[in-house]
Structure formats: structure tokens, C-alpha cells
């Protein structure tokens, strides 16, 4: 029986991941954890945890007999640029704490499977932007991307040196109707739906032709759980896997919304986030993930737009945190 700890459960991915894991493993076997007050999770247990407090995290893992940890706590691309030292500390020391706990448990015969999310932000201007391969040049330009690249190397190191069963996905932009837009460069793809449903034009902070890889949240959750459920002998990549859902630019997304929401209009006013987006891939080659553990996306753009328009809870302004 698996006992699972999700750190960063109040975030965009964590909130929905906790629910999916509770459905799969039972609410009593999933522990949601974060700094703030408990969100309405399906999990039976919630713990207030700072991932930077290694002793507390280790105690929680021992208390609940945890067998899997999802370490999701991080500062994202835009918020990270506003507080680079804080971003580095949280993103790197949080991961190191979990890897060290896993190393110690391995030595004690109590193995701990670890999931940690990387990002397309780990790529950079020297990376091939179209159909970006699994192994390629990685020269990130943001503190978030730099921490993700360093984290990938740490994951590989702890697997090679200490046999820690660590697994990772390079998430593209994640779109979800359950979380408001906030601290990510790709968040226009959420904010645009809020504007459309308010009957307002949307002013996009990226240019019309800025294509980026994206993934709808249900596919992102499926990929994450499928990777963690795969047998260890099928996981050939211990740094991080490319995983793709779909790729589009703001003009294509606006056109797809306009076909279902007549009268919707978009304008463009690129800001500092454009500089970040320009260093990221346009599309990803995820053939290694497809081969190793049978990854396959299910949700295309038209279905994504239909579902978002049907389910977005409109907020008056861009708040919160997204990936």
C-alpha cells in the first residue's frame, strides 16, 4: 500500500493532484501539505509544512509511513525574477531536503519514491525551439529555469550515486479552469478565458505568434501519476522527461475561443514576459516518454477550449499562482 505526501498541495498542480491520488489510493493514504491553511482537498490529512524545514518533513514522512513524495513547492518564472534569492533557496534547498531524506531512507532499507517537477524554463535561447529533443543544449536565462536545470542534475546525481528512485517531468505551460492565473509566463492561456467569459477583450502580454508548448491539467495529472506508477526498470531518464500536450500561440488560442464565443477580441502589448517566452521552445519532442512509459496526450485545442469555457469560475482580476 502506498502512502503519499504532496508538498505544495495548495498550488495549481498540487490541488488537483491530491484529488486524483486520493481517488486512486484512498483519501486516508494521501497527505496534503503546504505553508498556508488547508484547501478543500479530497485527502483525509493535511499538514502545515515548510519544505525548507528538513527535520519537520522527515518527521512527517516517518509518522505517516510515507512511500512516495511529490515535492511541488517552488517560486515560478515571473515571481522568481522578482525575488531571485528566495526562488533559489526554495527551489533548490527544498529539493535537496527531499533527496537527502530519500537517501537516508534508502540506507535504512525504507525506500522513498520522489517526484519533482522540472519545466520548459530549463531550456534557453541556445535550445532548438521546434520539436525540442529530450537531450539538447540547456542554457536558461531566468533564476527559475536555472534552478530547474540544476535540479535536474541533482536528480540524476542522487539516482546514480545513491539509487534514489526520483522521477521528473519538464512541464510545459499548464492550463486549468480550477486555478486563477498568476505567477507564470504561460498564464495568458488561462487569463484569456476569464476575459472572454466577462465579455471583455483580452490584452495579451505576449505577441500573437509566440508559440509555446502547453498541456491541459487532466493530461498533466495523468502523465505525472503514470510516470510514478511505472516500474523502475522502464524509467531510463532520471533528470527529467519531455512531456507535450499541444502547442499553440495566442492568436490561435484566441481564434479557437472566438469560434465558440462570438465577438471575442484580443490585442497585444508584449511586456517583460515576452523576453522570457522568447527563450523557451515552441514545441517538444516527447518520444522518449512515449516509448519508456507509454505517455500519450488525449486533449486537443478545441476540446480544451470547450471545457475551459464551460467550467472557468471568472475572477475580476489576475490573482493567485499558476504553472
Q: What is the CATH number of the domain that holds 283?
A: 3.90.25.10
Write down the residue that cell numbers 498542480 correspond to.
13
**Cα–Cα dist 132/111, whole Å:** 33
Helix (H) or strand (E) holding 70: strand 68-71
Query: For residue 38, what are the domain limits?
Result: 4-173+216-242
Give residues with Cβ within 8 angstroms of 156, minimum separation 6. Answer: 238, 239
- 66-92: pLDDT as tens digits: 999 999 999 888 888 999 999 999 999
Q: Are residues 251 and 159 in the same domain?
A: no
Q: Is the pLDDT of residue 181 over 80?
A: no
317 lies in some domain: no
Please list the residues that pair with 33 across neighbouring strands.
7, 47
Give residues with Cβ within 8 angstroms of 247, minimum separation 6. Answer: 172, 211, 212, 213, 214, 282, 283, 284
Q: Are residues 113 and 14 in the same domain?
A: yes
The number of CA neighbours under 13 Å toward the Cβ of 180 is: 10
**Average pLDDT of 58-63?**
98
Report the catalytic residues: 144
**Average pLDDT of 301-307?**
97
Task: Write down the pLDDT at residue 225.
Answer: 98
**Average pLDDT of 174-199?**
89
Q: Are residues 101 and 38 in the same domain?
A: yes
The pLDDT confidence band at residue 180, using thresholds 50, 70 and 90, is confident
Task: Write down the pLDDT at residue 155.
Answer: 98
**Cα–Cα dist 16/312, whole Å:** 15
93 lies in some domain: yes
Q: What share of the chain is helix, strand, coil (3-state, %, to 5)?
A: 45, 15, 40
Q: Are residues 81 and 193 in the same domain?
A: no
98 lies in some domain: yes
Q: What is the DSSP string of 69-112?
A: EEE-----HHHHHHSHHHHHIIIIIHHHHHHHHHHHHHHTT---
Write down the residue that cell numbers 519531455 correspond to.
242
Q: Are residues 138 and 201 in the same domain?
A: no
- 15-44: pLDDT as tens digits: 999 999 999 999 999 999 999 888 788 888
The pLDDT confidence band at residue 12, using thresholds 50, 70 and 90, is confident
Q: Are residues 162 and 285 in the same domain?
A: no
DSSP three-state, residue 197: helix
| Residue 138 grid cell | 540547456
Tell me whether strands 212-216 and 166-171 are parallel, antiparallel or unpaired.
unpaired
| Residue 240 grid cell | 527529467
Helix and strand totals (H; E) in the chain: 12, 12
318 lies in some domain: no
**Cα–Cα dist 194/180, whole Å:** 9
**Cα–Cα dist 90/188, whole Å:** 25
Q: Are residues 91 and 223 in the same domain?
A: yes
Task: Write down the pLDDT at residue 39.
Answer: 77
How many structural domains is the chain composed of?
2
Task: Write down the pLDDT at residue 256.
Answer: 98
As a whole-number percent, the residues of the chain with pLDDT over 70 amount to 96
Q: What is the CATH number of the domain that holds 127?
A: 3.40.50.720
Q: Is the pLDDT of residue 320 over 60?
A: no
22 lies in some domain: yes
321 lies in some domain: no
Q: Are residues 191 and 93 in the same domain?
A: no
Q: Are residues 118 and 207 in the same domain?
A: no
pTM of this structure? 0.93
Q: Are residues 232 and 304 in the same domain?
A: no
What is the 8-class DSSP label of residue 120?
G
Q: Are residues 150 and 11 in the same domain?
A: yes
Task: Write down the pLDDT at residue 40.
Answer: 80
Task: Write down the pLDDT at residue 43.
Answer: 86
As a whole-number percent, the residues of the chain with pLDDT over 90 amount to 88
Q: Are residues 208 and 225 in the same domain?
A: no
Q: Is the pLDDT of residue 284 over 90?
A: yes
251 lies in some domain: yes
**Average pLDDT of 115-136?**
97
104 lies in some domain: yes
Amino acid at each position: 500500500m502506498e502512502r503519499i505526501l504532496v508538498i505544495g498541495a495548495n498550488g495549481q498542480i498540487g490541488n488537483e493532484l491530491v484529488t486524483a491520488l486520493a481517488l486512486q489510493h484512498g483519501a486516508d493514504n494521501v497527505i496534503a501539505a503546504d505553508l498556508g491553511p488547508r484547501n478543500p482537498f479530497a485527502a483525509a490529512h493535511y499538514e502545515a509544512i515548510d519544505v525548507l524545514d528538513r527535520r519537520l518533513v522527515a518527521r512527517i514522512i516517518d509518522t505517516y509511513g510515507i512511500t512516495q513524495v511529490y515535492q511541488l513547492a517552488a517560486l515560478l518564472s515571473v515571481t522568481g525574477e522578482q525575488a531571485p534569492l528566495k526562488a533559489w533557496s526554495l527551489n533548490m534547498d527544498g529539493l535537496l531536503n527531499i533527496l537527502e531524506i530519500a537517501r537516508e531512507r534508502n540506507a535504512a532499507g525504507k525506500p522513498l519514491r520522489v517526484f519533482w517537477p522540472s519545466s520548459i524554463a530549463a531550456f534557453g535561447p541556445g535550445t532548438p525551439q521546434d520539436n525540442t529533443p529530450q537531450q539538447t543544449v540547456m542554457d536558461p536565462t531566468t533564476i527559475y529555469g536555472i534552478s530547474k536545470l540544476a535540479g535536474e542534475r541533482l536528480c540524476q546525481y542522487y539516482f546514480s550515486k545513491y539509487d534514489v528512485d526520483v522521477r521528473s517531468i519538464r512541464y510545459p505551460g499548464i492550463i486549468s479552469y480550477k486555478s486563477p492565473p498568476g505567477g507564470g509566463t504561460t498564464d495568458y492561456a488561462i487569463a484569456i478565458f476569464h476575459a472572454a467569459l466577462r465579455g471583455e477583450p483580452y490584452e495579451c502580454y505576449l505577441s500573437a505568434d509566440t508559440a509555446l508548448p502547453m498541456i491541459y491539467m487532466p493530461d498533466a495529472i495523468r502523465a505525472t501519476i503514470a510516470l510514478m506508477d511505472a516500474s523502475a526498470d522502464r524509467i531510463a531518464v532520471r533528470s527529467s522527461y519531455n512531456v507535450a500536450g499541444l502547442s499553440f500561440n495566442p492568436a490561435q488560442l484566441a481564434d479557437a475561443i472566438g469560434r465558440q464565443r462570438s465577438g471575442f477580441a484580443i490585442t497585444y502589448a508584449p511586456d517583460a514576459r515576452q523576453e522570457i517566452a522568447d527563450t523557451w521552445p515552441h514545441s517538444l519532442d516527447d518520444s522518449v516518454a512515449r516509448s519508456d512509459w507509454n505517455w500519450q496526450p488525449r486533449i486537443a485545442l478545441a476540446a480544451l477550449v470547450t471545457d475551459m469555457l464551460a467550467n472557468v469560475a471568472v475572477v475580476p482580476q489576475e490573482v493567485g499562482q499558476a504553472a
